[in-house]
Structure 1
Amino acid sequence: MEILLSKTSDIDAIFELYDAATAFQKKVGTNSWKGFEHTMVEKEIAAQRHFVIRDDNQISATFVLAFSDPIIWKEADKDPSVYIHRIATHPDFRGRNYVQKILYWTKEYAKKEGKNFVRLDTTSGNEPLNQYYLKCGFTYKGNSEIEWTNELPEHYKDGSFALFEIAVNK
């Protein structure tokens, strides 16, 4: 398993992962992703913030990093942090603890970048996923009610979002 910067040639595989994750979300939850723009992913790749995991010679997972998230995290966004977004795993690779591996890798990355926290958010009310993030070492920081803007993907229009963080030096 290796974590690599995404390339534009990975976009089709990335969107296959997003489609599979959205289908899974619809099966197990009440809120799901509503699709993403190719141009957004292309910009993230160009900015070197979009990553893939290669395992068994195929793209098995993907995620995105950001260095600010003021709409979701509000005042806490002032803390130097790395934000993980859009973790998606190929169905054949579920159960390989990618979130924990992404977290470990991102903590090391955050240390190099001088950040204090690794953070993520998810739809509030998804108790199994919330418990999983706690098991991975995150601390629940409450819910964030947001006012949606077109800077955010469509799924942020619905409801509130549970906030999780972990100190980099933990």
Structure 2
Amino acid sequence: MIRIAEEKDIQPILEITKACAKSMISSGIYQWNEHYPNTSAFQKDIKREELYVLEINHAIKACIVISAFMDSEYEPIKWLTPNINNIYIHRLAVHPQLQGKGYAQQLMHFAEQFAIDNNYSSIRLDTFSQNKRNQKFYELRGYKRLGDIYFPKQSEFPFYCYELVL
């Protein structure tokens, strides 16, 4: 079941994202670290009612942020649609022990259906340039790579921006 996250969900979400960070780092992918994602980011997501969790047998196993807010880092990108009426995907995480079971697909389908149901013109996101698995995941869903942005606290390498026009 996918539902909107609550304050009590932050600790299990952090456990998932920390497990994801550890797994990525062990594979040489320095996308997430001790600075990101963090409690503060998830608290803001909950206040904005943008954080969703995938719950299995009453336990949180994955999360996704579906936001209408455009971060300033995205401003230089030449998007396919005007910068109005878009949603942004952030912090998609599935516990490493559960990856490969289709849960990320479920969360993305949920986000895409949410965007369609609410008449958004596109879905935008970024993924780390060193994370080939994520790039393939989004490209197979029809997302188009458009440009690069940087998050210096996370990595010296760029993050690739993607957009799916609805």
Q: Same fold (TM over 0.5)?
A: yes
**TM-score grouping bracket, smaller chain normalisation:** 0.7 to 0.9
Tell me if structure 2 keeps the 8 A contact 1:145–1:159: no
Partner deviation per Cα, 1:37-88 (whole Å, 9 max, x = no partner):
3233112111101111012331110111221233135353714211111111
Whether 1:140 aligns to 2:142 is no
Q: How does 1:7-18 map to 2 (within 5 A)?
A: 7-18=6-17
**1:139 Cα deviation from its structure 2 partner:** 2.1
SS of equivalent residue, structure 1 residue 41: helix
Residue identity (%): 22
Tell me if structure 2 keeps the 8 A contact 1:140–1:163: yes
TM-score when normalising by structure 2: 0.84
Separation of aligned partners in 2, 1:69 and 1:146 = 12
Match of 2:114 in 1: 109
Tell me if structure 1 keeps the 8 A contact 2:130–2:157: no
Gaps of 5+ in 1: 149-153
Partner deviation per Cα, 1:13-60 (whole Å, 9 max, x = no partner):
011001101011102233231233323311211110111101233111
Partner deviation per Cα, 1:64-121 (whole Å, 9 max, x = no partner):
1221233135353714211111111112321121222122111121123321111211
Match of 2:56 in 1: 55
**1:134 Cα deviation from its structure 2 partner:** 1.3
Residues 110/25 of structure 1: CA separation in 2 closer, same or farther (3 Å cut): same
